[in-house]
């Protein structure tokens, strides 16, 4: 097996050309969403949307079913035991043969040319789109057979093609193909005809194009045989990067595939780019009765898959460096650092007229370690600042009331905030790496790449020294990487999104370090006028601009939403949280729960100009 200087420098699966490398990095964990639908009995012979933000793993998942990958896994069962068992449990392979394989088609921008209304009417555009897809799906299906049997084009004449009567009628007035070569030539001719029309902007009549996606319903893998034996039982028709189609073309596809009730398996993979704002919000039911919708990375199994990625890639290291074993998992502070926290907290409490002296005595008597004393004293300071913010205490607190006031949730807030206030390491260890990469395998690999490069440098400088990245080094490298990603946001998503995210990050940081606030960590917001958002009752603010920015942020995983209840009658709120890597760019704790209500006007102002935020205490 080929080994690499840095196995984390390889990113997207579509750029990983060698199948042996791809298979060596495969984990059965990557198939978990599909396995669940397979167990329910709804995956095969059905339409499935596979959706995620960029880097979510859509293409990797599809490639797992490509003919060459399935063939390699099947032929090397021992080396790929877990993957083979996963495919077998899904009915893709048996011990003796391959039952299903992908017929993969990548969408490109050329389909957008069919949307030129000055050249093509809507019915014409629909017929040409369907004809192009019918032709190309036929071609990739035959190429899948070629890969499974290692057939050259000239050998396709040996593959018999026996279509159903219904499919045979589709070729009229041309003769019905009876070999895979004849069918390939028919499809290639259709593709040339349609691409010529698109490239020359030739006006067409009704004889050009197809009125349905009949190939996806009527072309079956079992129609192809060699010497009377089928090559594979079923095709998995895969259309990747569907977000490059127009919204109209996507609607054409959905209507056609749902209304036809296809008998083949069809997977459409797409980013969230073409989703409307409403479709990106929680509670939107994207799962219809006639199709499945998989949203990658939306459950805790995703983190398990990230662990497998780290392990598998580390195994390809030329230097035998296991990344997980080379990361310090704990940040151990010195007694002097803890004493700094204690001194700061006591200094603040000394300004509170002796109202908390008895509670300080409780800490001195009941906690021995400098760590516990620092956390408890800091928590007491937070409690005191909250009290002074709401109402001035009339009498000193008694020693016996300590546990009544300093509860577990306040101690947790104390632990979360202390690193941000005193500039201690926050982002280190394997679990934090996973937490920094919600719904995004590419993001996770990019962080691993930065840490691995540092390990290679250390190995070069100190070849005999044990490799271990300290918590402080990991924290510095991850923060630097996140800040670089933040700067790239300007060119990737535009000034409006860049300014909005920077203002949101600055606002959250100022709220988090304002120590008398209700929540320790603030890294999200909810919209006050959510019931009147986007032009229903508010017309003095450019809601369209805000809607556009929020849609881009949600589609690209810069923000994600969670439902929560708060206030009178447990009112439901949709909270927009920053992606965890953006939290790291602003040195924010990664905890959830803290958020603030903002008006539409305030949020729109965040798009237009970058504010200067008052950041509270920072040592």
Q: What is the DSSP letter of 151?
A: -
Domain match, 350 and 246 both: no
Domain match, 279 and 175 both: yes
**What local confidence, expressed as pLDDT, does residue 30 receive?**
83
Question: How much of the chain, in percent, has pLDDT values that exceed 70?
Answer: 91
DSSP-based three-state secondary structure for 105: strand
Query: At residue 541, does pLDDT exceed 70?
Result: no
Q: What is the pLDDT of residues 256-310, one digit of tens each?
A: 988 877 889 999 999 888 777 667 766 444 444 578 888 887 666 788 888 888 9
**What local confidence, expressed as pLDDT, does residue 229 receive?**
94
Confidence of residue 235 (pLDDT cuts 50, 70, 90): very high
**What local confidence, expressed as pLDDT, does residue 28 receive?**
85
Q: Are 103 and 232 in contact (CB under 8 A)?
A: no
Q: What is the pLDDT of residues 94-145, one digit of tens each?
A: 999 999 999 999 998 778 888 777 778 888 899 999 999 999 999 999 999 9
**What local confidence, expressed as pLDDT, does residue 143 receive?**
97
**What local confidence, expressed as pLDDT, does residue 592 receive?**
75
Contacts 24+ apart (CB under 8 A), 292-295: 292/37, 292/42, 292/43, 292/46, 292/47, 292/48, 292/49, 293/48, 293/49, 293/51, 294/33, 294/34, 294/37, 294/48, 294/49, 294/50, 294/51, 295/51, 295/52
How far apart CA 37 and CA 33 sit, in angstroms, is 7
Q: Are 156 and 224 in contact (CB under 8 A)?
A: no
Residues whose CB falls within 8 Å of the CB of residue 391, separated by 6 or more in sequence, listed in order: none
Q: Answer with the one of 422, 455, 481 that is the final residue of a domain.
A: 422
Q: Answer with the one of 422, 455, 475 that is the final residue of a domain.
A: 422
Number of folded domains that form the chain: 3
Residues whose CB falls within 8 Å of the CB of residue 180, separated by 6 or more in sequence, listed in order: 142, 145, 156, 157, 159, 160, 161, 224
Query: At residue 542, does pLDDT exceed 80?
Result: no
Distances (CA, A) of 57 to 47, 92, 99, 280, 439: 19, 20, 24, 18, 9
Q: What is the pLDDT of residues 449-470, one digit of tens each?
A: 999 999 999 998 988 888 999 9
**What local confidence, expressed as pLDDT, does residue 537 receive?**
41
Q: What is the pLDDT of residues 67-102, one digit of tens each?
A: 999 999 999 998 899 999 999 999 999 999 999 999
Domain match, 162 and 47 both: yes
**What local confidence, expressed as pLDDT, does residue 115 receive?**
79
Distances (CA, A) of 82 to 62, 65, 150: 18, 15, 26
Confidence of residue 614 (pLDDT cuts 50, 70, 90): low
The per-type count for the chain, helices as H runs and strands as E runs, is: 24, 12
Confidence of residue 314 (pLDDT cuts 50, 70, 90): very high
Establish if 432 belongs to a structural domain. no
Domain match, 371 and 506 both: no
Nearest one of 492, 435, 500, 478 to 585, comparing CA atoms? 478
Nearest one of 228, 233, 226, 230 to 158, comparing CA atoms? 226
Query: At residue 166, does pLDDT exceed 90?
Result: no
Average the pLDDT over 33-62 and give the result.
Answer: 90
Q: Which CATH number covers residue 520?
A: 1.10.10
Domain match, 271 and 149 both: yes
Neighbours of 202 (CB within 10 A): 11
Q: Answer with the one of 382, 406, 422 that is the final residue of a domain.
A: 422
Q: What is the pLDDT of residues 565-598, one digit of tens each?
A: 776 667 788 899 999 999 999 999 987 778 999 9
Nearest one of 438, 524, 425, 416 to 479, comparing CA atoms? 425
Q: In what order do the strands lie in the sheet with 596-598?
A: 559-566, 571-578, 524-527, 596-598
**What local confidence, expressed as pLDDT, does residue 126 receive?**
92
Q: What is the pLDDT of residues 174-231, one digit of tens each?
A: 899 999 999 999 999 999 999 888 887 766 666 788 999 999 999 999 999 999 999 9
Establish if 91 belongs to a structural domain. yes
Establish if 319 belongs to a structural domain. no
Query: At residue 162, does pLDDT exceed 70?
Result: yes
Nearest one of 344, 421, 335, 343 to 370, comparing CA atoms? 335
Establish if 456 belongs to a structural domain. no
Residues whose CB falls within 8 Å of the CB of residue 173, separated by 6 or more in sequence, listed in order: none
**What local confidence, expressed as pLDDT, does residue 535 receive?**
46
Domain match, 411 and 537 both: no
List the Cα angle 328/330/334 in 5-degree steps.
110
Establish if 37 belongs to a structural domain. yes
Which structural domain, as residue segments, surrounds residue 387? Answer: 335-422
Domain match, 40 and 130 both: yes
Confidence of residue 534 (pLDDT cuts 50, 70, 90): very low
How much is the mean pLDDT over the chain? 87
**What local confidence, expressed as pLDDT, does residue 1 receive?**
60
Domain match, 229 and 357 both: no
How far apart CA 604 and CA 608 sit, in angstroms, is 7
Kindly state the greatest CA–CA separation across the chain: 98
How far apart CA 513 and CA 5 sit, in angstroms, is 42
Establish if 453 belongs to a structural domain. no
Q: Are 499 and 606 in contact (CB under 8 A)?
A: yes
DSSP-based three-state secondary structure for 173: coil
**What local confidence, expressed as pLDDT, does residue 310 receive?**
92
Q: What are phi and psi of 286, to 5 degrees?
A: -95, 5
Domain match, 583 and 513 both: yes
Query: Two tokens at 342?
Result: 């204690």
Domain match, 240 and 368 both: no
Query: When comparing pLDDT for 497 and 616, which is higher?
Result: 497
Q: Which range has the worst mean pLDDT, 36-45, 284-293, 529-538?
A: 529-538
* Chain position carrying tokens 């606030």: 517
Establish if 351 belongs to a structural domain. yes
Establish if 508 belongs to a structural domain. yes
How far apart CA 308 and CA 512 sit, in angstroms, is 34
How far apart CA 5 and CA 459 sit, in angstroms, is 12
Domain match, 260 and 346 both: no
Question: How much of the chain, in percent, has pLDDT values that exceed 90?
Answer: 54
**What local confidence, expressed as pLDDT, does residue 616 receive?**
52
Q: Are 374 and 381 in contact (CB under 8 A)?
A: no
How far apart CA 29 and CA 39 sit, in angstroms, is 15
Average the pLDDT over 491-502 and give the result.
Answer: 95
Residues whose CB falls within 8 Å of the CB of residue 316, separated by 6 or more in sequence, listed in order: 1, 2, 3, 4, 7, 21, 24, 25
Domain match, 292 and 340 both: no
């Amino acid at each position: 097996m080929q080994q690499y200087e840095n196995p984390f420098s390889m990113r997207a699966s579509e750029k990983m050309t060698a199948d042996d490398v791809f298979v060596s990095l495969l984990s059965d964990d990557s198939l978990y969403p599909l396995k669940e639908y397979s167990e329910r009995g709804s995956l095969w012979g059905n339409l499935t949307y596979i959706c995620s933000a960029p880097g979510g793993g859509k293409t990797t998942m599809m490639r797992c079913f490509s003919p060459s990958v399935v063939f390699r896994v099947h032929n090397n069962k021992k080396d790929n035991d877990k993957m083979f068992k996963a495919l077998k449990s899904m009915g893709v392979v048996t011990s003796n043969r391959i039952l299903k394989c992908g017929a993969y088609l990548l969408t490109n921008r050329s389909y957008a040319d069919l949307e030129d209304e000055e050249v093509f009417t809507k019915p014409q555009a629909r017929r040409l789109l369907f004809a192009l897809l019918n032709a190309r799906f036929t071609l990739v299906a035959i190429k899948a057979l070629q890969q499974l049997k290692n057939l050259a084009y000239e050998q396709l004449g040996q593959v018999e093609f026996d279509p159903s009567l219904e499919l045979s009628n589709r070729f009229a007035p041309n003769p019905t193909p009876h070999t895979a070569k004849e069918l390939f030539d028919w499809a290639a001719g259709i593709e040339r005809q349609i691409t010529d029309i698109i490239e020359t902007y030739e006006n067409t009549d009704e004889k050009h194009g197809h009125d349905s996606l009949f190939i996806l319903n009527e072309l079956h893998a079992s129609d192809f045989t060699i010497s009377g034996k089928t090559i594979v039982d079923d095709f998995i028709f895969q259309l990747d990067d569907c977000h490059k189609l127009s919204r109209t073309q996507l609607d054409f596809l959905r209507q056609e595939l749902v209304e036809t009730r296809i008998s083949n398996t069809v997977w459409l993979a797409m980013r969230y780019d073409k989703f409307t704002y409403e479709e990106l919000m929680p509670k939107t039911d994207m799962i219809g009765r006639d199709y499945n919708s998989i949203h990658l990375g939306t459950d805790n199994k995703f983190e398990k898959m990230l662990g497998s990625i780290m392990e598998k890639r580390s195994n390809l290291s030329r230097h035998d460096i296991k990344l997980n074993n080379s990361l310090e998992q704990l940040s151990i502070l010195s007694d002097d650092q803890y004493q700094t926290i204690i001194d700061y907290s006591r200094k603040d409490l000394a300004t509170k007229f002796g109202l908390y002296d008895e509670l300080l005595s409780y800490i001195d008597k009941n906690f021995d370690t400098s760590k516990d004393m620092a956390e408890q004293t800091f928590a007491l300071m937070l409690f005191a600042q909250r009290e002074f913010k709401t109402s001035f205490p009339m009498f000193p607190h008694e020693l016996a009331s300590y546990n009544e006031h300093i509860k577990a949730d306040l101690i947790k807030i104390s632990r979360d905030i202390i690193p941000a206030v005193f500039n201690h390491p926050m982002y280190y260890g394997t679990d934090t790496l996973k937490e920094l990469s919600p719904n995004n395998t590419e993001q996770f690999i990019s962080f691993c790449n930065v840490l691995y490069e540092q390990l290679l440098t250390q190995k070069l400088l100190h070849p005999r020294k044990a490799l271990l990245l300290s918590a402080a080094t990991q924290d510095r490298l991850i923060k630097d990487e996140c800040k670089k990603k933040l700067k790239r946001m300007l060119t990737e998503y535009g000034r409006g999104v860049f300014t909005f995210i920077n203002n949101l990050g600055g606002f959250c940081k100022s709220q988090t370090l304002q120590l008398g606030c209700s929540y320790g960590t603030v890294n999200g917001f909810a919209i006050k006028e959510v019931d009147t958002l986007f032009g229903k009752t508010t017309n003095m603010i450019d809601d369209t601009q805000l809607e556009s920015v929020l849609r881009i942020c949600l589609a690209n995983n810069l923000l994600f939403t969670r439902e929560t209840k708060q206030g009178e009658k447990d009112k439901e709120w949709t909270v927009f949280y920053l992606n965890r890597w953006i939290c790291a760019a602003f040195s924010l704790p990664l905890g959830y729960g803290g958020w603030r209500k903002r008006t539409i006007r305030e949020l729109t102002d965040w798009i237009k100009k970058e504010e200067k935020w008052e950041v509270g205490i920072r040592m």
